[in-house]
């Protein structure tokens, strides 16, 4: 692969991030106060490894947060089965906790260093990856440049380029093209992603589907499930999953309308960012709805109307419990959350109008009758009531969604096939005989 030539803007970015490196601790101090960093592992943000490098060929995978890590879990398993060591990086505390609870001990997890040339060089000097796989849309300039300088093949897997991101990147065409020149292969989720990445300058682009369709449903702690099911016997349960600020009030208002028709209704709100739990409690309390926090150790009792599930890695529990799920991030202009997990677990899906992050998927689900679109508290209440009170209608929606999802799998095998030449080359270089 020819070496990419950096533009003046990239040189300026690298210089500024280099000069800012001594002040990085000040930036992270604020994030620590907001619960967005793990102070015990802060050194990893500066590229200082907290684990030794495993012996043998190493594949480095990076996913920003929880959703990306869940998507690549089957890929990591297959790489391990092929004899490769796996280094996983991510950027959030929640993703680190998920990695600690769900990944086998031989997969090394580290926080991604801040995007400084100094920190990236320190990181790469220790880990010496043989192949780098970036998940979805993680295009950090110093990461790309430093990996490119070492002639390590870098592949974008499950790549995504939203309309909004495309518009932003398009303002810097030469710099973006120079960064994408460090990418040896680009494996987008769909044709639109492929078109946008190609327009930005990516080469060797092949749309092979979304790895999230091949990910297994999230696991569930059976004891926790039994306890929650026992606490909700005789109650109608609705879950609003991965909600963002601005959506909780809509859900609480819809609950207020629904409870007139369904007096035994329990609404579970699982905020996308668990640290918002007490904020959600405040919204519910202001509306006169008794609410409790799961993180405080409470189970819902007969008086609980809003149960705030501010925990990590338990969405599978709530999707199994609730027959109907509203997917958050869609009632505000966030772009929506991925509906694949609740569909696989049999929940009937409701979503708002703002689903640009997964537009093609929601379009297919809606067309097949596998999801119901809502816009505000009133339509949310009406849609939820229709599904919660009509078991046959709910089963039709769920079955249509599962049939749609089933037709969209296969990306894992196609990804491994596309990566095979790089994996073979790594073996040849390490064992030339």
pLDDT in tens, 120-148: 999 999 999 999 999 998 899 999 999 99
Q: What is the pLDDT of residue 312?
A: 83
Strand positions, DSSP E, 230-314: 236-243, 265-271, 291-293, 306-308
**Across 368-393, average pLDDT:** 97
C-alpha 278/C-alpha 69 separation (Å) is 27
**Across 241-261, average pLDDT:** 97
In sequence order, the 6+-apart residues with CB closer than 8 A to the CB of 329 are: 242, 243, 244, 247, 272, 335, 336, 337, 354, 357
Homologous superfamily (CATH) of 222-406 is Glycogen Phosphorylase B; (3.40.50.2000)
Q: At 392, which helix (H) or strand (E)?
A: helix 391-406
- Dihedrals phi, psi of 240, to nearest 5 degrees: -110, 110
**If DSSP codes are grouped into helix, strand and coil, which group holds residue 187?**
strand
Whether domain 8-214+410-430 has CATH 3.30.300.30: the reply is: no
Q: What is the pLDDT of residue 138?
A: 87
**If DSSP codes are grouped into helix, strand and coil, which group holds residue 346?**
coil
Going by pLDDT thresholds of 50, 70 and 90, the confidence category of residue 94 is: confident
Q: Where are the alpha helices (DSSP H) in 183-221?
A: 191-200
The number of beta carbons lying within 10 Å of the beta carbon of residue 104 is 9
* Mean pLDDT rounded to a whole number for the chain: 95
Going by pLDDT thresholds of 50, 70 and 90, the confidence category of residue 45 is: very high
**If DSSP codes are grouped into helix, strand and coil, which group holds residue 132?**
strand
Mean pLDDT is lowest, of 59-63, 159-163, 238-242, for 159-163
Q: Which residue in the list 37, 68, 138, 247 is annotated as catalytic?
A: 68
What are 273's two structure tokens?
């960012």
Rounded to an integer, what is the distance from CA 191 to the centroid of its chain? 20
Domain boundaries, the chain: 8-214+410-430, 222-406
Over residues 258-307, the pLDDT tens digits come to 999 999 999 999 999 999 999 999 999 999 999 999 999 999 999 999 99
68 classed as catalytic: yes
Same fold yes or no, 8-214+410-430 and 222-406: yes
Partners of 268 in the beta sheet?
239, 307
**Across 229-233, average pLDDT:** 97
Whether 1 shows a pLDDT value over 60: the answer reads no
Partners of 108 in the beta sheet?
87
Whether 43 shows a pLDDT value over 70: the answer reads yes
C-alpha 317/C-alpha 336 separation (Å) is 21
Q: What is the pLDDT of residue 363?
A: 96
Task: Give the global pTM.
Answer: 0.84
């Amino acid at each position: 692969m020819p070496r990419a030539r950096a533009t003046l803007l990239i040189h300026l970015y690298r210089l500024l991030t280099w000069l800012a490196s001594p002040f990085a601790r000040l930036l992270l101090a604020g994030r620590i106060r907001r619960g967005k960093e793990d102070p015990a592992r802060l050194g990893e943000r500066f590229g200082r490894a907290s684990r030794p490098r495993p012996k043998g060929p190493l594949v480095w995978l990076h996913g920003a947060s929880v959703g990306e890590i869940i998507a690549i879990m089957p890929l990591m398993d297959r790489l391990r089965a092929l004899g490769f060591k796996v280094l996983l990086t991510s950027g959030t505390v929640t993703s680190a906790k998920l990695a600690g609870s769900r990944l086998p001990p031989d997969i090394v997890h580290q926080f991604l260093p801040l995007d400084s040339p100094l920190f990236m060089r320190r990181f790469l000097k220790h880990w010496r990856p043989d192949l780098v796989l970036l998940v979805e849309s993680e295009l950090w300039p110093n990461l790309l440049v430093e990996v490119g300088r070492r002639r390590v093949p870098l592949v974008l897997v499950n790549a995504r380029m939203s309309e909004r991101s495309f518009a932003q990147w398009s303002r810097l065409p030469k710099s973006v093209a120079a960064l994408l020149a460090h990418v040896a292969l680009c494996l987008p989720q769909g044709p639109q992603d492929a078109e946008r990445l190609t327009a930005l300058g990516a080469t060797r682009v092949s749309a092979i589907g979304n790895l999230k369709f091949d990910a297994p449903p999230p696991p569930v702690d059976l004891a926790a499930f039994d306890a929650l099911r026992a606490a909700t016997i005789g109650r109608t349960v609705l879950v609003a999953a991965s909600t963002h600020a601005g959506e909780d009030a809509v859900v609480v208002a819809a609950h207020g309308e629904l409870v007139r028709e369904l007096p035994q209704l329990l609404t579970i709100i699982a905020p996308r960012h668990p640290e918002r739990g007490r904020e959600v409690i405040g919204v519910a309390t202001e509306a006169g709805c008794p609410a409790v926090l799961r993180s405080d150790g409470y189970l819902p009792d007969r008086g609980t109307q809003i149960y705030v599930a501010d925990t990590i890695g338990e969405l599978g529990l709530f999707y199994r419990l609730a027959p109907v799920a509203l997917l958050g991030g869609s009632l505000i202009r966030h772009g929506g959350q991925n509906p694949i997990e609740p569909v696989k677990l049999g929940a009937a899906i409701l979503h708002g109008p703002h689903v640009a992050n997964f537009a093609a998927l929601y379009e297919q689900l809606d067309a097949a009758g596998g999801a119901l679109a809502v816009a505000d508290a009133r339509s949310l209440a009406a849609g939820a009531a229709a599904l919660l009170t009509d078991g046959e209608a709910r089963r039709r929606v769920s079955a249509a969604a599962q049939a749609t999802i089933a037709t969209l799998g296969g990306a894992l095998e196609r990804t491994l096939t596309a990566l095979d030449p790089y994996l073979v080359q790594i073996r040849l270089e390490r064992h030339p005989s």
